[in-house]
Amino acid sequence: MNKLIFVSGGVCSSLGKGVAASSIGALLESRGLNVRMVKCDPYINVDAGTMSPYQHGEVYVTDDGAETDLDLGNYARFTKGRLSRANSVTTGQVYESVIRKEREGKYLGKCVQVIPHITDEIKNRILAVTTEDSDTDVVIIEIGGTVGDIESIPFLEAARQLIHEHGKANAISVHLTLIPEVASGELKTKPTQHSVKSMQETGIQPDILICRSPVMLDESTRRKIAQFTNVDIDAVFTSPTIDTTIYQIPIIFFEQGLDQVILRKMGVESRHAKMKPWHSLMERFRAREGKVRIGIVGKYMALHDTYTSLYEALFHASLECGTEVEFVKIDSSSLEDKEDAETILGEKAPGGGVDGILVPGGFGQRGTNGMVKTVEWARKNNKPYLGICLGMQIMVIEWARNVLGWTDADSTEFSPDTKHPVVSLLVEQINVKNYGGTMRLGASETVNEEGSHIISAYGMNRIMERHRHRYEFSNQYRDDFLKSGLKLAAFTPDGALVECTEWPHSGEARHPWGVAVQFHPEYKSKPMAAAPLFRDFIAAAHREKIKKN
Ligand code: GLN
């Protein structure tokens, strides 16, 4: 029987439950176990795809095209286990399928209820992951939200039943709480005591506590927590606030023996832990010299979570290139006037100028003219540029307006009646009416052209990357762009869709490194293997910065 680890949270949200669950996964993998991760999200949306980035943060896309919670991105960065649609369970999906079965008469006249029908559906979805791959040893199930929330009750009830059915040796509960510090500098354990009480009310006794705290908890605080919560003192751990990187958390947990306690509780023989990759990562982190400043000019800049994978990919690239990366976050709406780009991005800007520009994904017209101004500035000032999804569409629009001289050129997403629709709806999207799950989604193959930056980044001509968009480069203009010097650097295998554009490598319009792609390379970036385009982008920004000085 596979082992189950349920990870829940209490006191408040944003304690780093996803990173804690992922770090446990990483530690168990380092001991040779095969781990799969599941996220249960109590919201009623079927998936994260229709939610505003400001409500929800990033939508993480899997190979099979599921639009999931950003925690799946954490799982992908910390662990190796396969992630697909099956690894993201929401209340919306659960109810959708229970109601469908009810309409099909599958419940044979029964009254359909939260217990057992909703909870059974949740349990079946979790159990499906445990059997999907025959070599799975452990499944870690993170329950979103905070204990005490009305929405999470069915998920906790499903967890309680599974723990009971599997037995304590096969299923355990890890609970994450907050130990706040009050003005006097004292650490307070009361919220943790209450949080564990709420867990106990659901019928789950946490086996392990991870306490988020400004500092490492001392023995007497841990003893006090243990006493009030029925948790063994050696099972009370700290997740201290750190100023390094989230990738240090597996090491911090390892040093406290968290993985050993988990293995002991589940009766798994302890194997030697291979922590070297995490230690070398921290060595690379500390050895970085100098820094490049990257202007990220997008629509949803006020919330870091909106572009989690993107910021992580930049960080992975910084580890690989041996230089720090400073994020200069700029709301593209602030760049509407002509001189704004130079004032905000140029050398005289507060904090100094930026060494590279990244325009990330986004939807809707707001702020897109500011992005066009930014991209024009990057092109004319030889600043390395990476455009992602919307960032590629903006590269195309900028070129059309300023090089081809079609001043009204635009995407039909932003100006439906433009005379030069250089970006337009994908053919398959024309009759699509619903918003949820209907974009071009998930992994597909891209073929890179010889002599392009993209082929040298990947070192191969056929790559698989993930998409999430409705609009594309308009093929009717291919010749105009090619003749004027824009490189069409990658295509779908049938040649039908342009997947990458690059600024000229040679001649008068030569630019050091300007690459934009219709897919999202950030989703597959790993701390120990940065996404190739992010790596080469940071390397180019670094190179150009040194050249200038
Ligand atoms: N709004 C654009 C489209 O749908 C870009 C999407 C994105 O950046 N993910 O094509």
pLDDT in tens, 292-337: 999 999 988 888 889 999 999 999 999 999 999 999 999 999 987 7
Q: Which residue's CA is the closest to the ligand 1 atom numbered 9?
A: 361
Furthest-apart CA pair in the chain: how many Å?
Answer: 77
Contact 204, 159 (CB under 8 A): yes
Nearest C-alpha neighbor of 291 from the set 548, 547, 546: 546
pLDDT band at 125 (very low <50, low <70, confident <90, very high): very high
Q: Are strands 88-90 and 35-41 parallel, antiparallel or unpaired?
A: parallel
Residue 236 has which token pair? 């009370």
pLDDT for 427 = 82
Mutate to test the pocket of ligand 1, among 296, 388, 389 (most ligand atoms within 8 A of CB): 389
Q: Are strands 421-425 and 410-411 parallel, antiparallel or unpaired?
A: parallel
Q: Which residue's CA is the closest to the ligand 1 atom numbered 1?
A: 363
Atom of ligand 1 nearest to the CA of 472: 10
pLDDT band at 1 (very low <50, low <70, confident <90, very high): low
Distance, CA of 17 to CA of 35 (rounded, Å) = 17
Distance, CA of 295 to CA of 359 (rounded, Å) = 8
Nearest C-alpha neighbor of 448 from the set 502, 511, 506: 502
389 classed as catalytic? yes
Q: Radius of gyration (Cα) for the chain, nearest Å?
A: 25
Q: Kindly give, in sequence order, each residue whose CB lies less than 8 Å from that of residue 50, ignoring residues fewer than 6 positions away.
A: 435, 436
Q: Provide the residue type at 240 as one letter.
A: P
520 classed as catalytic? yes
pLDDT band at 55 (very low <50, low <70, confident <90, very high): confident
Number of neighbouring beta carbons within 10 Å of residue 275 = 17
Residue 359 has which token pair? 């325009």
pLDDT for 462 = 97
Across residues 7-27, what is the average pLDDT?
94
CA–centroid distance, 467 to ligand 1, in Å, is 9
CA–centroid distance, 411 to ligand 1, in Å, is 10
Residue 218 has which token pair? 């001392």
Number of neighbouring beta carbons within 10 Å of residue 541 = 28
Looking at residue 114, what DSSP letter applies?
I
Contact 542, 330 (CB under 8 A): no
pLDDT for 389 = 97
Contact 288, 281 (CB under 8 A): no
Distance, CA of 401 to CA of 318 (rounded, Å) = 33
Share of the chain above pLDDT 70, in %: 100
Contact 39, 69 (CB under 8 A): yes
Number of neighbouring beta carbons within 10 Å of residue 417 = 8
Report the SS3 class of residue 297: strand
Catalytic-labelled residue, pool 175, 467, 520, 542: 520
Given a cut of 80, whether residue 270 has pLDDT beyond it is no
Number of neighbouring beta carbons within 10 Å of residue 267 = 10
Across residues 493-498, what is the average pLDDT?
95
Mean pLDDT of the chain: 95
Report the SS3 class of residue 425: strand
Q: Which residue has the higher pLDDT, 112 or 12?
A: 112
pTM for this model (two decimals) = 0.95
Burial class (CB in 10 A: 0-12, 13-18, 19+), 496: exposed
Tell me, letter by letter, the H, E, C secondary structure of 6-66.
EEEECCCCCCCHHHHHHHHHHHHHHCCCCEEEEEEECCCCCCHHHCCHHHHCCCEECCCCC
Across residues 246-269, what is the average pLDDT?
96
Q: Kindly give, in sequence order, each residue whose CB lies less than 8 Å from that of residue 164, ignoring residues fewer than 6 positions away.
A: none
CA–centroid distance, 51 to ligand 1, in Å, is 15
Across residues 480-488, what is the average pLDDT?
97
Across residues 257-273, what is the average pLDDT?
92
Strand partners, 173: 6
Nearest C-alpha neighbor of 415 from the set 427, 428, 401: 401
User: Which residues have C-beta atoms less than 6 Å from ligand 1?
Assistant: 361-363, 389-390, 413, 468-471
Across residues 496-523, what is the average pLDDT?
96
Contact 354, 341 (CB under 8 A): no
Distance, CA of 232 to CA of 538 (rounded, Å) = 47
Q: Which residue's CA is the closest to the ligand 1 atom numbered 3?
A: 469
pLDDT for 446 = 97
Mutate to test the pocket of ligand 1, among 394, 396, 413 (most ligand atoms within 8 A of CB): 413
Nearest C-alpha neighbor of 535 from the set 318, 293, 355, 297: 318
Contact 262, 24 (CB under 8 A): yes
Given a cut of 90, whether residue 351 has pLDDT beyond it is no
Tell me, letter by letter, the H, E, C secondary structure of 147-158.
CCCCCCHHHHHH
Catalytic-labelled residue, pool 389, 500, 502, 542: 389
pLDDT band at 185 (very low <50, low <70, confident <90, very high): confident
Distance, CA of 385 to CA of 267 (rounded, Å) = 52
CA–centroid distance, 191 to ligand 1, in Å, is 43
Given a cut of 80, whether residue 526 has pLDDT beyond it is yes
Q: Which residue has the higher pLDDT, 342 or 258?
A: 258
Distance, CA of 157 to CA of 259 (rounded, Å) = 26
Across residues 33-52, what is the average pLDDT?
92
111 classed as catalytic? no
Q: Which residue's CA is the closest to the ligand 1 atom numbered 7?
A: 361
CA–centroid distance, 529 to ligand 1, in Å, is 26
pLDDT band at 437 (very low <50, low <70, confident <90, very high): confident
Phi and psi at residue 448, to the nearest 5°: -90, 140
